[in-house]
Structure 1
Amino acid sequence: MKTTAIRKTNHVARLCVLMVLCAFCGGRAVAQDYLYEIGGGLGVAQYYGDANRGLLGSTGFGLEAFGRYNHNFRWAFSAILDWRSLSGNSTHVGNVFPGAAQADFRASLTQLHVRAEFNFVPYSDGYKYLGTARLSPYLTAGISMGMASGTKGSAFAPGITGGVGVKYKLKRRLNIGVEYAFTGLLTDALDALTEQSAWLNNPYQVNDSWLKNRDATGALMVRLTYDFGLRKSNCNKR
């Protein structure tokens, strides 16, 4: 009888442990972060080049479609398809160009950015024992492929991009973020796509290297994203 009681006690103990493990696993599944985010953003865009050297000059408009893969709490990878309306006026630069020529232009730029992101704080609204937080600043860097167009034609505009931002988890599957990103283009034709500004492709008539005298853009964006693709729990793995 004593042996039978001990066996029953052991069975009950095992059952209790199993129930606790199941509850723990279920809790983790509910609190698990999601692998993917999708959303969009809008903000202000800027052109930097021969027709603008100021930080706040030549402000335009920007729109984006955004996707992110969350590798873990620290690292993420994102892809952005954006459109920017850009303009510039050489009279505000302060430089004197050969022939005393002046120009203003308007152009649009469509770009695809592929980037890596590093969160300064583990980003999540759960797992407090891992030091996670709903708010995290981050750094990002990557490459861009783009196409600029104006009244005179279009130009291929590849580039290198980098930026800084902050993200905040509004709700379990809803995120908001603010980011400023700067893209250095490997072309000087962004501001030379109208008849009046075509000479800005090489305003000083000198031989430039592929790194010098290139155009650039910046954008301050506010975006909203939605999480999906629940990360699988490891509780059932043996």
Structure 2
Amino acid sequence: MILKTVRTLLVCTLVQIGSVFFALPATAQQQTGQPKTTSELGIGIGGVVYKGDIAPRYRLKSNRPALNIFYKKDISNAVAWKVGLLLGKIKAKDEDFTDNPSFLARELPLSMYRQATVTTSILELSGGIDYKFLDYYDFRRPIRWTPYFTVSVAGIVYNNKTIAQNPAIIYPTDADKQQAYRTGFALAVPVGAGVKYALSERWNLGFEAGVRVLFTDAFDNLTDQNEQVMNPNSRDLYFYNGVSISYTFYKINCPVK
């Protein structure tokens, strides 16, 4: 369901981006002679949540702290380029989904058998675009705010360790591996939505939530090494949600002769 939703959002985004860029010549003509261009530098705090084999459902209580630093450069009234750096830590336990024997345990026998815990530190570097639905820099509006949609491509470096009560379940050939951390690399597509509100002419308050769809199923160390403890149909991903504060830079453009 999540992957179908993401695919739908990506198609809608490409349509919106195409309409914006085809309209750029007209927009550029309208903006010729305007005295300002804008960019934005910000920092956000929030939480990250992993979903995969060890955490088959989104669980609000599983949020772990995350720090988000970003820079955005407006290229039109609607579109802004952006780059971002996300630091976070993720932890998930099978027992978190089997602590209600009357309901969850009957649905998750694999989690009861595996009894694994994964701890992961992540460093994410991304680049993409924001699409704003309202003209955020129209100062004639008494309240400046806009919802926006965001899509990026990200490279992720992660360092993690997966352990189980019975190490042979996770590492059938080398149980000592569960004592060591493993460093891995992955690509992802971050997709999300947010709201931005102007606190003043230069300061902005934002809220954003989204999902990182990973191009790997080894994020939790559960791969085809032991098919008895993993679900090949469960795609690893993680969510980010947080609040941010940013500062807008205005560049005064010299008139074109």
TM-score bracket, normalised by the shorter chain, equals 0.7 to 0.9
In the other structure, the counterpart of 1:124 is 137
**1:106 Cα deviation from its structure 2 partner:** 1.2
TM-superposed deviation, 1:231? 4.7
Secondary structure, counterpart of 1:228 in structure 2: strand
Q: Specify the alignment match of 1:189 in structure 2.
A: 218
Structure 2 counterpart of 1:61? 65
Give the residue type in structure 2 aligned to 1:79. V
Q: Letter of the aligned partner of 2:256 in structure 1?
A: K
The answer to whether the aligner puts 1:76 opposite 2:101 as a matched pair is no
Q: Report deviation, 1:172.
A: 1.2
For residues 190 and 142 of structure 1, the distance between their equivalents in structure 2, rounded to whole angstroms, comes to 19
What is aligned with 2:154? 144
Deviations 1:176-209 (A, max 9, x none): 11000110111222222xxxxxxx234635895x
For residues 134 and 204 of structure 1, what CA distance do their matches in structure 2 show? 53
Alignment partner, residue 221 of structure 1: 242
Q: How far is the alpha carbon of 1:101 from its aligned partner?
A: 1.9
- Tell me the alpha carbon deviations over residues 140-160 of structure 1, each in whole angstroms, 9 at most, x when there is no partner: 112111011024211112111
User: What is the CA–CA distance in structure 2 between the aligned matches of 1:156 and 1:214, rounded to whole Å?
Assistant: 16
Residue 173 of structure 1: how far off its partner (Å)? 1.4
Distance in structure 2 (CA, Å) of the matches to 1:139 and 1:231: 28
Q: 1:53 to 1:231 in 2, by over 3 A?
A: farther
Letter in 1 for 2:227: Y
Higher helix share: 2
Q: Give how far 1:77 is off.
A: 1.4
- Distance change (3 Å), C-alpha of 1:110 and 1:98: closer
1:140-219 matches, cutoff 5 A: 140-151=150-161, 152-192=181-221, 200-202=222-224, 204=227, 208=232, 212-219=233-240
**CA RMSD in angstroms, aligned pairs only:** 2.5
Equivalent residue for 1:41, pick from 26, 32, 44: 44
* TM-score normalised by length of structure 1: 0.73
Q: Which runs of 5+ in 1 are unaligned?
A: 1-27, 193-199
Compare CA radii of gyration and give the structure with the larger one: 1
Residue identity (%): 25
Q: Are the aligned partners of 2:191 and 2:211 in contact in 1 as well (CA < 8 Å)?
A: yes
Q: Distance in 1 between matches of 2:109 and 2:155?
A: 32
What's 2:256 paired with? 237
SS at match of 1:188: coil
For residue 102 of structure 1, the aligned residue among 115, 131, 136 is 115
| TM-score normalized by the length of structure 2 | 0.68
